[in-house]
Structure 1
Amino acid sequence: MVKIGNIELPEFPLLLAPMEDVSDPPFRRLCKMHGADLMYSEFISSEGLIRDAIKSRKKLDIFDYERPVGIQIFGGDEEAMAMSARIVETVEPDLVDINFGCPVKKVVCKGAGAGVLKDIDLMVRLTKAVVTSTHLPVTVKTRLGWDFDSINIDEVAERLQDAGIKALTIHARTRSQMYKGEADWEHISRIKNNPNIEIPIFGNGDIDSPIKAEEYKKRYDCDGVMIGRGAIGYPWIFNEIKHYFKTGEILPEPTISQRLEAVRQHAEWSTEWKGERVGLIEMRQHYSNYFRGIPHFKEFKRRFLEVFTLAEMDKLIAETDHFYKEHSFAK
């Protein structure tokens, strides 16, 4: 068992990464259904919460079926981070997570996300501001450092633990790498085996298959893994990994019918949360991911992009399912 404060997770838990414009409640619900053990909201600007920005407030929506679930915040001002932590506490998540890892320029330029990697003292002050402002467990997600010449994760891990965080997730890339190149998990292994580190250490980066999850589990000795891009359009990855851990068997890939059912569920929950028109428009980014590698999907994708009602969606899903069954494609 892995504990984050008073939150109990199974041995070697699988976490869904917080991803902007991806890990909203409908997608989190799918991932929970398919085996995710802990999930996070999309990251939320502390300044946006304080300004009462509608988009930021909407991201605070969490539901009991998701639990345990954390809300992730980011920012570069101590007072704003403290105030936003108190706002977050009012919706009663299971934990608060701080984003010190987002490499996107518009975040970094504000001295937030991975931008804080340049100033560990500020990172510690921001963390303490959040820890002292909430009774909830506080966790952090960060990167190895700003670039290869300034990898500082060893100092960061110890100092953030001293500041009161209850778990640390490390994306095994620097900010300068963005999402390119291979993640270097040797740093995660070193942090995990530091005798001064007592909090759970989760690894993130490049986990896209059960075999790789098993390999990294054995090789790097972390307490669990966080999966981001590997789950986009493929929520089945969580149960596939768990099944492989338990049996050593690779589950067959989801069938066309199962992929279509996931799309239908995702669309239904998206419209419940956002309204039918907006929900279906925002679903458009997901279709290519759900049907990646599927033959002859290009024409169906065009039609999915023209859907504006759930009734149209159900009709198109039925036609698509019939087409693939009739032509007996392998997938």
Structure 2
Amino acid sequence: MGDRRELKIGDLTIRHPYVLAPMAGVTDLPFRLLCKEQGAGLLCMEMVSAKALQYKNKNTKALLSIHPEEYPVSLQLFGSEPDVISEQAKALEELPFQILDINMGCPVPKVVKNGEGSALMKQPRLVHEIVSRTVKATRKPVTVKIRKGFDDTCVNAVEIARIIEDAGAAAVAVHGRTREQYYSGKADWDIIRQVKEAVRIPVIGNGDVTCVQDALHMMEQTGCDGVMIGRGARGNPWIFRELKCYDETGRIPPRPEIGEIREMMLRHARLQVKYKGEYSGIREMRGHVSWYTRGLRGSARLREEINKVETYQELEELLQEKLM
């Protein structure tokens, strides 16, 4: 097969065009490190509020930790005020991330209510101003994540992508659902194809990729330059190993067996404890364990019991006992 696919964003060449999507509460430093090890080409951090940064919010600062082993990494800001986003882009420039991403796709009500995230899809002029001012404010390549549109009456990903390109962005990621759909129904890959045909900057497709075949089909059907994987990577960092292996050898390695899944969970938990302390780290692992064990024998009972686990020791004992 050969290493035939590369993704170029600005002056950065990403050897495997498979991107870990930014997901609040999921793509923190421990999980990103595991996905990188497995072969993810680009890692996206959890989205950070430009306004919270402006007000020096302590919790927001914790979201900015970056490890040298995870390069290249993309830092994602969200907001709706061009001066705030561009000022924060400039203020963060010395941090060791390689790409600055602007979120125009988040469907969460409290974000949308503030006119941020996917609400920006309804404001083409504002999109241009945010992107052009941010591009001028930073030397790093600026990318933007959008959706198909806000709702079925406002399917305007092509128009918004052209505006983003015109404003100087280096790439655009397109999730094939409207804001109103959230994550329900089927992602419309045809809108990704339309965006790809409309702009010259790289287009990264996103939506409904849960295995190697999905990623290959998306690339074939849309012509997109890269594939962004979100929910398909939760509890499944191996998806990046499988994609990388397929790119290099044409083969898809076997799915991990139960012992490997258990080991990955325990490594993940150790990283959580290392970076967040045992109290927060183990509590946050509860959700991850549910994702890792989906579909495994006895997983329903394990998921009931995981919510009582408070220490690494308890987690290890539970996994040893339940995942034989």
**TM-score per shorter chain, which class?**
over 0.9
Task: Pick from 125, 144, 148 the counterpart of residue 148 of structure 2.
Answer: 144
| Cα pair 1:47 1:80 within 8 Å, conserved | yes
1:83-232 paired onto structure 2 within 5 Å: 83-194=87-198, 197-232=199-234
Question: CA offsets, 1:223-255, max 9 Å, x none?
Answer: 010000000011111112233445554432211
Shift, 1:6, TM fit = 1.7
Shift, 1:301, TM fit = 3.5
| Cα pair 2:298 2:322 within 8 Å, conserved | no
Aligned residues: 319
Give the Cα separation in 2 of the matches to 1:49 and 1:175: 25
Question: CA offsets, 1:81-101, max 9 Å, x none?
Answer: 112212321322111100000
Shift, 1:298, TM fit = 3.3
Query: What letter is aligned with 2:129?
Result: R
Query: What letter is aligned with 2:189?
Result: W
Shift, 1:146, TM fit = 1.1
Give the Cα separation in 2 of the matches to 1:123 and 1:19: 22
Q: Residue 6 of structure 1 aligns with which residue? A: 11
Shift, 1:261, TM fit = 0.8
Give the Cα separation in 1 of the matches to 2:302 and 2:197: 50
Give the Cα separation in 1 of the matches to 2:63 and 2:242: 28
Q: Residue 268 of structure 2 aligns with which residue? A: 266
Give the Cα separation in 1 of the matches to 2:170 and 2:274: 34
Query: What letter is aligned with 2:11?
Result: N
Question: CA offsets, 1:115-136, max 9 Å, x none?
Answer: 0111100011111221111111
Aligned partner of residue 72 in structure 1, secondary structure: strand
Give the Cα separation in 2 of the matches to 1:95 and 1:178: 26
Gaps of 5+ in 2: 1-5
Q: Residue 291 of structure 2 aligns with which residue? A: 289
Query: What letter is aligned with 1:30?
Result: L
Q: What TM-score results when the alignment is normalised by the length of structure 1?
A: 0.92
Query: What letter is aligned with 1:212?
Result: D
Give the Cα separation in 1 of the matches to 2:148 and 2:43: 22
Query: What letter is aligned with 1:198?
Result: R
Q: Residue 48 of structure 1 aligns with which residue? A: 52
- Bigger drift between 273-282 and 149-158 goes to 149-158
Question: CA offsets, 1:262-318, max 9 Å, x none?
Answer: 111111111111111111111111111100011113333344333333233333333
Task: Pick from 37, 41, 49 the counterpart of residue 33 of structure 1.
Answer: 37
- Bigger drift between 16-25 and 240-249 goes to 240-249
Give the Cα separation in 1 of the matches to 2:53 and 2:318: 39
Query: What letter is aligned with 2:297?
Result: P
Q: Residue 73 of structure 2 aligns with which residue? A: 69
Identity of aligned residues (%): 39
| Cα pair 1:48 1:56 within 8 Å, conserved | yes
Gaps of 5+ in 1: 325-331
Q: Does 1:233 align with 2:235?
A: yes
Aligned partner of residue 170 in structure 1, secondary structure: strand
Query: What letter is aligned with 1:50?
Result: Q
Q: Residue 60 of structure 1 aligns with which residue? A: 64
- Bigger drift between 272-281 and 145-154 goes to 145-154
Aligned partner of residue 181 in structure 2, secondary structure: coil
Question: CA offsets, 1:152-183, max 9 Å, x none?
Answer: 12221121111111011000111111111111
| Cα pair 1:3 1:9 within 8 Å, conserved | yes
Query: What letter is aligned with 2:221?
Result: R
Query: What letter is aligned with 2:302?
Result: F
Give the Cα separation in 2 of the matches to 1:90 and 1:55: 20
Query: What letter is aligned with 1:183?
Result: A
Q: Residue 3 of structure 2 aligns with which residue? A: none
Q: Does 1:311 align with 2:316?
A: no
Give the alignment's Cα RMSD to 1 decimal.
1.6
Q: Does 1:21 align with 2:25?
A: yes
